[in-house]
Amino acid sequence: MAETERQSAVPQLDLLAALAQVDSDTTGAETFERYIWQAKQAVRQWLTCLSGHGGPVFLVCEQVEDLTLVYRDRIRFLQLKTRDRGSWSALAMCDRGIGALVRSYTAARNAGLHELATFELWLEGPTSDVAETVAFASGPAGAGKAVRTKITSLGLKRAWLDDFLQRLVIRPDQPTRAHIDAKALWELSALWPALSRPELDLVYERLLNAATAAQGAAAAPATVQAHLAAARLHIGHHLPGPDEPGGACIRRARTTYSVR
């Protein structure tokens, strides 16, 4: 860097350092982090579509719920919730998550789909060890009076309460924001053990980009879908070589994801 360039950069660096000391609202960054956590959960569930052993046929983002899994004969509506600290009590679940599921249940019921559906609350982190919360999380149909009253106050018709609770599923202990990447990469490596870590990282990145595109109602990259279709035949096995059946498609996928 020339001396004049160095001198002109100093005031800019001073301004940057001063800016870093200004109090700032972190809400935007935290909201984005939660949004990305939901996209990573979408990627994990997308991978289950490849199993062919009773897995979902379609995965839909931001349609009725954060994530909706469509099977051949049923639908799962998933509300995904993060938590910064502490555990989830039964009433906290009602305040943050079950209210959204009540709206989804009402919409599904109005469309005649509720009898084919479950409504699931996926929670980052653990639930409280208070007896009422433990019982509610393991079997929502047996919810106590306080929880039932709270849920009806969220807008659910009292006549629908028992049916809603029978279809409600609580899934706590989801991977934290700090650990979900490792969990997703482990699941990818279990599907395709022959992929190297750099290849896994790039496949994960492409899947995550496609999931975030789906969350924003944008078109997913066609190459991602094509490569997953080619690799699906080789789940749990070594990928074929260039001269073996299916090898040409896999070679194109691996070339796309190789480190340059």
pLDDT tens digits along 152-188: 999 999 999 999 999 999 999 999 999 999 999 999 9
* Residue given tokens 């994801």 in the structure block: 257
Q: Is residue 104 scored above 80 in pLDDT?
A: yes
**Least confident segment among 28-42, 140-154, 194-208, 224-238:** 224-238
pLDDT attached to residue 28: 55
pLDDT attached to residue 253: 46
- Please report, for residues 9, 233, 249, 250, 254, the alpha-carbon distance to residue 244 in angstroms, rounded to integers and kept in the order given: 57, 13, 10, 10, 15
Q: Hey, where are the domains in the chain? A: 64-174, 180-257
Q: Which residues contact 144 (CB under 8 A, 6 or more apart)?
A: 90, 132, 135, 136
Rounded CA separation 110/99 (Å) = 17
Q: Is residue 258 scored above 50 in pLDDT?
A: no
pLDDT attached to residue 184: 95
Rounded CA separation 109/64 (Å) = 12
Give the model confidence (pLDDT) of 116-149 as tens digits.
999 999 999 999 999 999 999 999 999 999 999 9
Locate all alpha helices (DSSP H) within 154-193, ordered by sequence.
161-167, 180-191
Candidates 106, 117, 98; CA nearest to 170 is: 98
Higher per-residue pLDDT: 58 or 150: 150
- Architecture per CATH, domain 64-174, reads as 3-Layer(aba) Sandwich (3.40)
Q: Where residue 256 falls among pLDDT bands split at 50, 70, 90? A: very low
Structure tokens at 238: 């070594």
